[in-house]
Amino acid sequence: MGLCAHCHEVHAKSNKSLGGSDSITRQTRGTLQYRENTQNRYLSFLSTSFVFIRIRLSSQPGLALHYGFAWLLIPIVTTLKQTALYDLAVQTGAKMVAFADYRMPLHYGQGIIQEHLHCRSKAGLFDISHMGQCLIKGRSAAALLEKLTPGTQTRLKHGQQQYTVLTNADGGIIDDIIVTNFSSTLMIVVNAACKDKDFRHLRAHLGDECPLQELNEHALLALQGPKAEAVLLNYAPEAAHLRFMNACHSDIDGIPCTISRCGYTGEDGFEISVPEHFAERLARLFLADPWVALIGLGARDTLRLEAGLCLYGHELDATTTPIEAGLSWLIHHGNHSFPGVGTVLDQLQNGAARQRVGLIVESRSPVRERAEIFDDKGNLLGHVTSGSYAPSLGKPVAMGLIDSDAAIIGATLYSQVHNRQVKLTVCDLPFVPHRFRRS
């Protein structure tokens, strides 16, 4: 699951963020510096709301004012939330940005590329506490949730997880979520920008029979990378031996944790839910290991892009179905009760008009979200949903939503970067193979 839609370029990179990589040209550094500056202004704007006030202007003694009206634009600054690891992030030199109503680390001292490569080779520790966590209690919780998703939560055994989506009446995606079964209780993790609407949606359909408890006082950490298992083995051996998409309750140095073997980087790893007053102590415990380094949202985004994983607000939204998004594998044929089932099953059988694809960019600069995609005759085929420099590959990549007839592996398509035409090659996803531990 993804980061969320409030900020559509958290992977913008400054010269410092690039860590001085020789594979990035000076032109690209300048482009990314400009994008980061633009991003920061955009993020600052997001934390401010505005009120229009209509006032009446009237003549005053001795002044030549006529009666009339004027509009005043009054800015109201919204206080951003902080996670339990905010102080640790600031102490370690993180560059903080506004993201989904939170102050979150874009990157730490190393910069985005170095953090990205560290996670691919060692172990990265992510603060993802801005995401929503909740419990749904009751024996019928799984059966009721199954009516809202194309999954089969009733088939989950104790400790098993399932990635699925909440759908609307048109088959579009309200959000992508992860569900964990703990007998008569389901634990659900949702995207940060969607959590309020998700919780309202769930409460409206689950009713009093299965009360929803928001875990607002819990933090969420992700330990990701090829060394993650070895690190966790020192503290929670039973959790370190979990298989992919399984979870358990455990104890780390006296800290109660819920640990799941999952993540959104394409690497093996774990997500750890913990009461927030223990979060910093747990983080420092992991950071004492020389293999572990803090990783910000910027690298988390480039990691998930290389892994070909969808991000809500980019590849997924209320107008895009699971079939169009390339998520047909999460449709379980025994479930015919979820919203939009007619549209989804029709597309599953007959194909969808649009399709998510991978794109190799023949340019030094990335193509960005919403950039239009054309064929060689100039016909509009779709648009880019995510695009960035891929540190593991040393070149830009992207994902896009295009006409299914054009979604042919090896096909040449076109887009624009800085008013210059660039070539795109349709390719298989993921760009970098997944390394989840499935056995």
Per-residue pLDDT, averaged over 71-96, amounts to: 84
Question: What is the reported pLDDT for 23?
Answer: 36
Calculate the alpha carbon distances from 123 to 3, 127, 306 in Å. Answer: 19, 13, 17
User: Which residue, 341, 297, 300, 304, is CA-closest to 323?
Assistant: 341
Whether 269 shows a pLDDT value over 60: the answer reads yes
Q: Which residues of 249-277 are buried (b: 16+ CB within 10 A; e: fewer)?
A: ebebeebebbbbbbbbbbbbbbbbbbebe
At 56-73, the pLDDT tens digits run 444 444 434 334 444 555
**CATH architecture of the region 328-427:** Beta Barrel (2.40)
Whether 31 shows a pLDDT value over 60: the answer reads no
Per-residue pLDDT, averaged over 100-125, amounts to: 97
Calculate the alpha carbon distances from 1 to 49, 178, 189, 382, 432 in Å. Answer: 28, 8, 9, 23, 17
Per-residue pLDDT, averaged over 103-108, amounts to: 98
Q: Give every strand in the sheet of 102-107, ordered side by side.
A: 81-82, 102-107, 95-99
On the CB side of 32, CA atoms within 13 Å amount to: 28
Whether 294 shows a pLDDT value over 70: the answer reads yes
Residue 220 · residue 270 · CB < 8 Å: no
Share of the chain above pLDDT 90, in %: 79
Whether 190 shows a pLDDT value over 90: the answer reads yes
Confidence of residue 53 (pLDDT cuts 50, 70, 90): very low
Residues whose CB is less than 8 angstroms from the CB of residue 419 and which lie 6 or more positions away in sequence, other chains included: none
Whether 258 shows a pLDDT value over 80: the answer reads yes
Residue 144 · residue 334 · CB < 8 Å: no
According to CATH, where is 3.30.1360.120 located in the chain? Answer: 82-306
Structure tokens belonging to residue 347: 């597309």
At 340-369, the pLDDT tens digits run 999 999 999 999 999 999 999 999 999 999
At 88-103, the pLDDT tens digits run 999 999 999 999 999 9
Whether 3 shows a pLDDT value over 60: the answer reads no
Confidence of residue 32 (pLDDT cuts 50, 70, 90): very low
Question: What is the reported pLDDT for 76?
Answer: 52
Domain 82-306: top CATH class: alpha beta
Alpha helices in 4-47 (DSSP H): 26-46
Other CB atoms within 10 A of residue 135 CB: 18
Of 57-61, 71-75, 144-148, 212-216, minimum mean pLDDT range: 57-61
- Which amino acid belongs to residue 191? N
Of 12-26, 115-129, 186-200, 341-355, minimum mean pLDDT range: 12-26
Question: What is the reported pLDDT for 109?
Answer: 87
Predicted TM-score (pTM) of the model is 0.84
User: Which residue, 110, 94, 93, is CA-closest to 102?
Assistant: 94
Residue 431 · residue 359 · CB < 8 Å: no
Can you tell me the distance from the alpha carbon of 6 to that of 100, in angstroms, rounded to the nearest whole number? 6
Question: What is the reported pLDDT for 333?
Answer: 87
Alpha helices in 134-290 (DSSP H): 141-145, 195-206, 228-233, 237-240, 279-287
Residue 279 · residue 221 · CB < 8 Å: yes
According to CATH, where is 2.40.30.110 located in the chain? Answer: 328-427
Q: Tell me the average pLDDT of the chain.
A: 87
User: Which residue, 239, 244, 190, is CA-closest to 434?
Assistant: 244
Can you tell me the distance from the alpha carbon of 84 to that of 126, in angstroms, rounded to the nearest whole number? 12
Whether 14 shows a pLDDT value over 50: the answer reads no
Calculate the alpha carbon distances from 88 to 84, 96, 140, 192 in Å. Answer: 8, 12, 41, 20
Residue 398 · residue 357 · CB < 8 Å: no
